[in-house]
Every structure is written in C-alpha cells, then in structure tokens.
Amino acid sequence: MVTQTKSIEELNPKDRLRGTVVKIMLAGVVVDIGLEVPGVVHISRIQREPVNRAEDVVKVGQEVDVWVRQVFPERKRIELTMIEPLGLEWREIKKGMVAEGRITRLEKYGAFVDIGAERPGLVHISELAHGFIDSPSDVVHEGDDVEVQVLSVNRRRKQIKLSMKALQEPPQKAAKKVEQVIVEDEGPEESVPTAMEAALRQAMERSQNGESKTNNKKSKKSSSINSELEEIFVRTLKQGQ
C-alpha cells in the first residue's frame, strides 16, 4: 500500500511511496516523491542483482515504487530503496516476540516458516504441538498460515528457532472422577456406631445394670430392717400396757 504523506516529518522506515526518477548519477538516482525534497536511491539499492550503471535499469521520467530506508528531517535528506524491504530485519527479531507466517517446507524434524525475515525460521517437531507427534504433516501442511513465537535468534548464523506450542493452551490433566450419591434430606440419620463405640456402649449398659441391681438389694435390705424395727416397737408398746 502506497503511503500518502505531506511532509518529511511524517515519513517512517519501510513506508512505500510512488515516485518519478528525475536524475541519474554515478552513485544512484534521485526520485521525486511529491515532497519539498526528493529522495535518493543508492545504486546498490536499485535491485537485488549487482548494477554497474543506474541508467541500465531506470530512465529519467520513469515511475517507480520506492521504500523509505532512513529519514533525516533536520538535514532535509531522505534515503530510499527500490528493493522491497523484509517484513522483519534481523535487528527487529527478538526472543519472545509473536509473528505470523506461512509454512514453506516440511522436514522429518520440523517445519520451516516464513515470517518475513531474510530466512525462514524452524519449528522443531517437538514445538509444533503438545504431546507426541509422529510427523510434522500430522499437524501442519505447506502453505498453512500459522502463528509462532520466537524462541531464539542467531544473527551470525542467521538461524531463527520458533514454536507453535508456546502459543497453545496446555492440555488439562484428566481429573479423577469421583461418584457422588445424592440423598434427599429426610431428617438427621442415626450414625452407625463403630466396633469400639458399640463395645463402650455395652460396657456402660452393663455398669448401669449392675448399679441398678445393687441399689435394689440395698433397698430390700433396708425394708427388711425397717420391718424388724417396727415389730420390736409394737411388742414394746404391748408390754407397757
């Protein structure tokens, strides 16, 4: 998408512009992009293949697509490129960042994903999904659009390690099923005594029964004594008469 801007201060790196070649030099070309100052495309930025002479590739008056490389508002200078920039420069790729990409190749050990960098990143088979995976094709296919997270980046070796698993919810551990019997409330239920409770209860009953028998014996003995005393008292009264 071509950026519409009215001043040099509004330009940002990677902005795409449409311009007209107004001058060709040994070092490159000057492009009018509709601002107060034109932009400059270095000869090494005209195309990816080496260029010996700029006029062999472009002509004065030719309309071209250019992208902003650097802007220096205080110096009124705009550096452009005719080579479409990468979506992600090496300096922009950080550990932990999330990017969208497309599967470009599958191997036994994983899948390569184009995230807009100079080289595709690798999602190792162990990082495709949770759990065991026999083959990357069990999870993804070439051409699939995926979301990945950067695990590490080696700028010197130009290697990017990615993960799809890091952005997926881990599987929930299977919960143990516990059967619950729902009983309607019919009032308090008498608890079933344990063996020890039953033994204690029987012992207490025997003790109470023993005490009761003892009390009965005492009561009978006391009644007998009282009867004897009453008879003695009656005889004494008769003798006094």
Those residues with Cβ within 8 angstroms of residue 72's Cβ, 6 or more apart along the chain or in another chain: 78, 79
Question: Residue 24 domain-assigned?
Answer: yes
**Domain end point (choices 133, 167, 201):** 167
Q: What's the whole-number mean pLDDT along residues 112-134?
A: 95
Question: Residue 207 domain-assigned?
Answer: no
* Residues 72 and 80: beta-carbon distance below 8 Å: no
- Among 1-5, 51-55, 177-181, 221-225, which stretch is predicted with the lowest mean pLDDT? 177-181
Give the total number of structural domains in the chain.
Answer: 2
The torsion angle over the Cα atoms of residues 116, 122, 128 and 130, rounded to 10 degrees, is -120
Which domain does 68 fall in, by range?
A: 8-81
Q: What's the whole-number mean pLDDT along residues 134-145?
A: 96
**Domain end point (choices 81, 100, 116):** 81
- 77 and 33 in one domain? yes
Question: Residue 152 domain-assigned?
Answer: yes
- 99 and 124 in one domain? yes
C-alpha 44/C-alpha 46 separation (Å) is: 6
Closest CA to 94 of 110, 115, 111: 115
How do residues 95-116 score in pLDDT, each as one tens digit? 999 999 999 999 999 999 999 9
Q: Indicate which CATH number applies to the domain containing 123.
A: 2.40.50.140
- 76 and 94 in one domain? no
205 token code pair: 């009953």
- Position 53 scores a pLDDT of 94
How do residues 184-216 score in pLDDT, each as one tens digit? 545 555 555 555 566 666 666 666 665 555 555
